[in-house]
């Protein structure tokens, strides 16, 4: 989606036409992503791990489309406001208002929020998700006018897959342990080569 936004300059994003080298880089990134996420696992293992997961995977793809679109919009908003910080603030304010409305409409037990306070002493890092999200949105809003939406999304994707592999391998932040295997390492290396081709060649 990021490359499409750059190709046509959607949401006033800087236009960056596709070239043969860029397409090779994108194919390397896409292939590396598939390797890193286990898409080329043997069919019997794939069936055990991904049975009935297609609707959720499609939702994940849709979330990626939304992320690329949000990145481009926030980048242009930062240009209009002449401040990436103000763009990030508006983005988070609108998002917070929407979440408040959703919580008020849906049958969600607001009393469950106290569990976050109760676990603060043991797991203080539960509270920094919004802080990290703010830095992410601010960083993307600043980067888009500099290097384009497509490259921002590709670099973010590589960072996500690389660090998620580290988190999974050691079960950091109470995540489920999922040891890094050769296929995942090859995927990350392939993605890294694709990022280098896209960004530096």
49 has pLDDT over 80: no
The closest of 182, 200, 164, 196 to 29, measured between CA atoms, is: 196
* Residue 186 and residue 38 in contact, taking contact as beta carbons nearer than 8 Å: no
Q: What is the reported pLDDT for 41?
A: 63
36 has pLDDT over 60: yes
87 has pLDDT over 90: yes
For the stretch 166-199, pLDDT in tens is 999 999 988 888 888 888 899 889 988 988 887 7
Model confidence at 39, pLDDT cuts 50, 70, 90, reads low
Tokens of 124: 């203080």
Q: Is the pTM of this model over 0.85?
A: no
- For range 3-24, the mean pLDDT: 78
For the stretch 50-68, pLDDT in tens is 557 778 878 888 888 898 8
């Amino acid at each position: 989606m990021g490359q499409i936004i750059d190709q046509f300059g959607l949401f006033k994003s800087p236009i960056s036409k596709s070239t043969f080298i860029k397409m090779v880089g994108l194919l390397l990134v896409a292939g590396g992503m598939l390797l890193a996420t286990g898409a080329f696992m043997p069919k019997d293992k794939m069936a055990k791990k991904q049975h009935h997961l297609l609707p959720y995977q499609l939702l994940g793809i849709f979330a990626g489309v939304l992320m690329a679109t949000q990145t481009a919009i926030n980048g242009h908003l930062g240009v209009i406001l002449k401040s990436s910080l103000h763009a990030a603030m508006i983005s988070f304010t609108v998002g917070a208002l929407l979440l408040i409305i959703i919580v008020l409409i849906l049958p969600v037990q607001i009393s469950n929020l106290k569990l976050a306070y109760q676990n603060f002493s043991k797991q203080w890092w539960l509270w920094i998700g919004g802080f990290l999200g703010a830095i992410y949105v601010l960083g993307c809003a600043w980067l888009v006018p500099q290097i384009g939406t497509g490259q921002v999304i590709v670099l973010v994707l590589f960072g996500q897959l690389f660090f998620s592999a580290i988190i999974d391998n050691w079960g950091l932040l109470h995540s489920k342990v999922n040891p890094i295997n050769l296929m995942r390492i090859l995927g990350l290396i392939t993605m890294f080569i694709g990022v280098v081709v896209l960004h530096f060649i």
